[in-house]
């Protein structure tokens, strides 16, 4: 723990203490009230008692207390590096694809649920960051704005379901909504995690345009493509209930790679739940390293301890003066 | 200031005059007799007169027996040696030692004046501070009292030697001498000379805090004579004991010295009744 002072110039006052001691020794001593007595010669050669030797002890205690008070005025502070990362956090918006294709069961139980699970544990781990959630399919909307209230965020995440909005995959809209949510925050480090499983086939904004905007706002976009390579079972609603049919997985990988590259993020391909977890962990780690670079000081005032010690010393001094080292008159 | 002084003088006068008149005028008279008898007159012999006292010259001339009448010689000179050194400026029991000294000097002066004696005063510290030559009359006594009251003690030491030598030089006639002091100082052979030449008595005024210091913690005390300051720890039992023993020994040595030289001496504590002590002093003188 490294100690520092907020107002180190106040420490110059410490010079006053020796001056005070000298003054007390040379002037106060002679000005001390005396008792007139007829004859002191019998006392002149008497051995000094310990109380007489300690006579100035309360003065010394007072000097120490004064020194402590001056130190307290200079505001000693400790720097805690442990708390540093928690202060300037990262703003993260997760853009989650909730199109019908997210119900494919190449992930267990399905892509959407797996993504929600992983996102929730991600949120839990980054307890001090502002995190928001944007969902998109044929359109996009903000499920949860940037917040540090992670219990609410996680609850809202759990409520995300397929079919909340018109089906389709509007990657551009989703990204644009996320950018819109994150652009005005004061945090330096802004990140969007875009999770999708298809090809942009709807929406008013072109994904590349959205990525340009993200780039302008210096927002990193991590893109994650979700889906097995090859065929995956999709649910279909038939009059006889839900049936599954293998459909080829189509992800617009070049687009996602492009978005990630142009904004300084990275593209990941997830083929199952475990790989998705790993990807989120990777993103977690990458964002962590950025925080470590931006150093931050936590200052903790230690003056209170000094003041308390000074008060204690002053009480002891007063007690000594009134009791065993009592002087008269 | 002046009125205040007058008041004080008056107060002491009233108090001490009454004391000297009522309580021990007789004792004083008998204690300090004159030296021998002086012839005053002759008268006719009466039956019962001592034959020894018949004046043969006068008897022969008148052819009738006459006797000589002698009277005790009065008109003594009383000299008060008063210690005004700094150490008398101390007292814890109602009055300062110097105040008690003043009162006792006044009592002695009034007693002397009632017996038609002359009173002279020598104020001394380490020098002779003031000398009031012996005189009669109450105006003189009032002057003495005024001087006693107005005299300001300064940080001065005590030298008995100086006072005795001055006294031996100035008072040639044998006189009754009272030394009123607190006894802090050295006596040497001049005491012996003075005590032989005069009827010498010593009155020592003390304060009880000079025999034992009360336990009041640490204190800084100032020596009235040397002007030095020193810190002492009055809660130090060892110190208190040593001091008490020191004082006891000092007083005993002083007393032995006085007794060896045949000097009547009493010790009076401030706040105590000094009349009793004075009476005992007069009784001692009467036995001589």
B63-85 pLDDT, tens digit per residue, is 999 998 877 666 778 899 999 98
Under an 8 A CB cutoff, do A51 and B235 touch? yes
Under an 8 A CB cutoff, do A43 and B224 touch? no
Q: Which helix (H) or strand (E) holds B144?
A: helix B138-150
Q: Chain A interface, mutation test: which of B209, B233, B234, B248, most A Cβ atoms within 10 Å? A: B233
- pLDDT band for position B36 (50/70/90)? low
In chain B the domains, ranked by start, together with CATH numbers, are 2-30+75-287 (3.40.50.410), 37-72 (no CATH)
Model confidence at A246: pLDDT above 60: yes
- The verdict on A37 touching B (C-beta cutoff 8 Å) is yes
Query: Of A37, A52, A326, which is closest to B90 when you measure between CB atoms?
Result: A37
* Domain locations in chain A as residue ranges: 3-32+45-80+298-322, 88-293
Nearest-CA distance A329 → chain B (Å)? 7
- pLDDT band for position B175 (50/70/90)? confident
Lowest mean pLDDT among A314-323, B36-45, B59-68, B279-288: B279-288
Rounded percentage of chain B residues whose pLDDT exceeds 90: 21
- pLDDT band for position A269 (50/70/90)? confident
Model confidence at B276: pLDDT above 50: yes
Q: Chain B interface, mutation test: which of A25, A33, A39, most B Cβ atoms within 10 Å? A: A39
Model confidence at B17: pLDDT above 80: no
Average pLDDT value for chain A:
82
Lowest mean pLDDT among A86-90, B86-90, B224-228, B259-263: A86-90
Q: What ipTM does the predicted assembly reach?
A: 0.70
- The verdict on A326 touching B (C-beta cutoff 8 Å) is yes
Nearest-CA distance B157 → chain A (Å)? 10
Query: Of B216, B217, B222, which is closest to A37 when you measure between CB atoms?
Result: B222
Model confidence at A308: pLDDT above 90: yes
Compute the average pLDDT of residues A196-223. Answer: 87
Separation CA A260–CA B9 (nearest Å): 116
Model confidence at A19: pLDDT above 80: yes
Q: Chain A interface, mutation test: which of B96, B186, B215, B219, most A Cβ atoms within 10 Å? A: B219
Query: Of A34, A38, A49, which is closest to B229 when you measure between CB atoms?
Result: A34
| Tens-digit pLDDT profile for residues B136-150 | 888 898 888 888 888
Contacts of B220 in chain A (CB under 8 A): 32-35, 327
Lowest mean pLDDT among A36-50, A53-67, B167-181, B231-245: A36-50
Under an 8 A CB cutoff, do A38 and B226 touch? no
Show the DSSP H helices in chain A as ranges.
16-23, 29-31, 41-44, 50-53, 57-73, 84-87, 111-125, 150-159, 171-182, 207-216, 253-263, 273-293, 303-322
- pLDDT band for position A293 (50/70/90)? very low
Contacts of B219 in chain A (CB under 8 A): 35, 327-329
Rounded percentage of chain A residues whose pLDDT exceeds 90: 8
Count of pairs with CB atoms under 8 A, one residue in A, one in B: 96
Please choose, from the candidates A288, A283, A261, A289, the residue with its C-alpha nearest in 3D space to the C-alpha of residue A270. Answer: A283
Nearest-Cα residue of chain A relative to residue B231: A52
- Class of CATH domain A88-293: alpha beta
Nearest-CA distance B88 → chain A (Å)? 7
Q: How is B161-211 classified by DSSP, letter by letter?
A: HHHHHHHHHH--S--EEEEEE---S---HHHHHHHHHSEEEEEEEE-GGGT
Task: Give Rg (Cα) of chain A.
Answer: 36
Nearest-CA distance A326 → chain B (Å)? 6
- The verdict on B41 touching A (C-beta cutoff 8 Å) is no
The larger pLDDT score, comparing residue A61 to residue A44, is at A61
| Contact map slice: B 153-172 vs A, CB within 8 A | none
Compute the average pLDDT of residues B12-20. Answer: 73
Q: How many residues does chain A have?
A: 329
Contacts of A37 in chain B (CB under 8 A): 90, 221-224
Under an 8 A CB cutoff, do A43 and B228 touch? no
Under an 8 A CB cutoff, do B220 and A327 touch? yes
Q: Is A292 exposed, middle or buried (0-12, 13-18, 19+ CB in 10 A)?
A: exposed
Model confidence at A295: pLDDT above 60: no
Nearest-Cα residue of chain A relative to residue B220: A34
Separation CA A264–CA B6 (nearest Å): 111
- pLDDT band for position A249 (50/70/90)? confident
The larger pLDDT score, comparing residue B51 to residue A28, is at B51
Model confidence at B58: pLDDT above 80: yes
Cβ–Cβ contacts within 10 Å for residue A225, how many?
Answer: 23
| Contact map slice: B 165-224 vs A, CB within 8 A | 182, 184, 207, 210, 216-224
Under 8 Å between Cβ of B59 and B66: yes
- pLDDT band for position A63 (50/70/90)? very high
| Tens-digit pLDDT profile for residues A117-158 | 888 888 888 877 788 999 998 888 888 888 888 888 888 888
* Cα B279–Cα B285–Cα B288 angle in degrees, nearest 5: 145
pLDDT score for B156? 81
Separation CA A32–CA A328 (nearest Å): 10
Under an 8 A CB cutoff, do A39 and B246 touch? no
- The verdict on B245 touching A (C-beta cutoff 8 Å) is no
Separation CA B110–CA B105 (nearest Å): 9
């Amino acid at each position: 723990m490294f100690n520092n002072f907020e107002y180190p110039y106040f420490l110059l006052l410490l010079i006053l203490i020796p001056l005070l001691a000298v003054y007390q020794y040379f002037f106060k001593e002679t000005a001390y009230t005396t008792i007139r007595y007829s004859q002191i010669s019998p006392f002149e050669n008497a051995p000094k008692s310990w109380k007489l030797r300690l006579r100035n002890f309360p003065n010394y205690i007072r000097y120490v207390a004064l020194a402590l008070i001056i130190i307290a005025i200079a505001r000693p502070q400790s720097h805690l590096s442990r708390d540093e990362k928690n202060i300037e956090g990262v703003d993260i918006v997760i853009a989650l694809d909730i199109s019908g294709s997210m119900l494919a069961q190449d992930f267990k139980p399905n892509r959407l649920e797996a993504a929600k699970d992983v996102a929730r544990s991600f949120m839990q781990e980054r307890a001090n960051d502002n995190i928001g959630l944007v969902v998109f399919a044929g359109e996009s909307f903000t499920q949860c704005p940037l917040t540090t209230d992670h219990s609410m965020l996680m609850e809202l995440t759990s409520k995300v379901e397929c079919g909340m909005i018109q089906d389709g995959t509007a990657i551009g809209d989703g990204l644009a909504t996320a950018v819109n949510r994150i652009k005005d925050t004061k945090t330096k480090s802004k990140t969007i995690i875009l999770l999708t499983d298809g090809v942009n086939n709807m929406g008013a904004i072109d994904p590349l345009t959205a990525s340009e905007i993200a780039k302008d706002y210096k927002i990193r976009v991590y893109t994650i493509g979700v889906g097995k390579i090859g065929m995956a079972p999709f649910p279909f609603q038939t009059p006889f209930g839900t049936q599954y049919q293998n459909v080829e997985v189509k992800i617009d990988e070049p687009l996602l790679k492009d978005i990630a590259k142009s904004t300084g993020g990275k593209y990941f391909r997830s083929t199952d739940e475990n790989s998705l977890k790993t990807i989120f962990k990777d993103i977690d780690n990458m964002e962590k390293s950025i925080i470590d670079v931006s150093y931050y000081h936590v200052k903790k005032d230690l003056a209170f301890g000094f003041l308390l010690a000074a008060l204690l010393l002053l009480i002891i001094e007063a007690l000594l003066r009134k009791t065993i080292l009592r002087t008269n008159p | 200031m002046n009125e205040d002084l007058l008041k004080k003088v008056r107060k002491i006068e009233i108090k001490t005059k009454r004391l000297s008149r009522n309580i021990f005028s007789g004792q004083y008279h008998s204690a300090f007799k004159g030296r021998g008898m002086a012839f005053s007159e002759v008268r006719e012999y009466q039956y019962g007169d001592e034959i020894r006292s018949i004046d043969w010259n006068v008897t022969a001339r008148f052819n009738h027996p006459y006797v000589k009448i002698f009277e005790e010689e009065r008109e003594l000179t009383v000299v008060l040696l008063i210690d005004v050194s700094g150490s008398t400026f101390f007292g814890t029991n109602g009055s300062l030692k110097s105040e008690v000294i003043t009162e006792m000097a006044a009592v002695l002066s009034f007693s002397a004046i009632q017996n038609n004696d002359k009173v002279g005063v020598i104020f001394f510290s380490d020098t002779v501070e003031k000398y009031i030559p012996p005189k009669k009359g109450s105006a003189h006594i009032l002057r003495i009292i005024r001087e006693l009251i107005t005299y300001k003690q300064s940080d001065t030491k005590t030298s008995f030697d100086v006072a005795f030598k001055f006294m031996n030089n100035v008072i040639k006639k044998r006189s009754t001498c009272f030394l009123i002091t607190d006894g802090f100082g050295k006596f040497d052979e001049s005491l012996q000379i003075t005590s032989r030449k005069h009827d010498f008595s010593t009155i020592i005024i003390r304060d009880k805090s000079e025999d034992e210091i009360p336990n009041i913690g640490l204190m800084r005390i100032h020596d009235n004579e040397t002007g030095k300051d020193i810190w002492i720890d009055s809660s130090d039992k060892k110190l208190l004991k040593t001091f008490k023993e020191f004082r006891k020994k000092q007083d005993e040595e002083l007393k032995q010295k006085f007794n060896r030289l045949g000097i009547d001496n009493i010790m009076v504590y401030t706040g105590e009744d000094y009349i009793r002590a004075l009476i005992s002093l007069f009784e001692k003188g009467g036995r001589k």
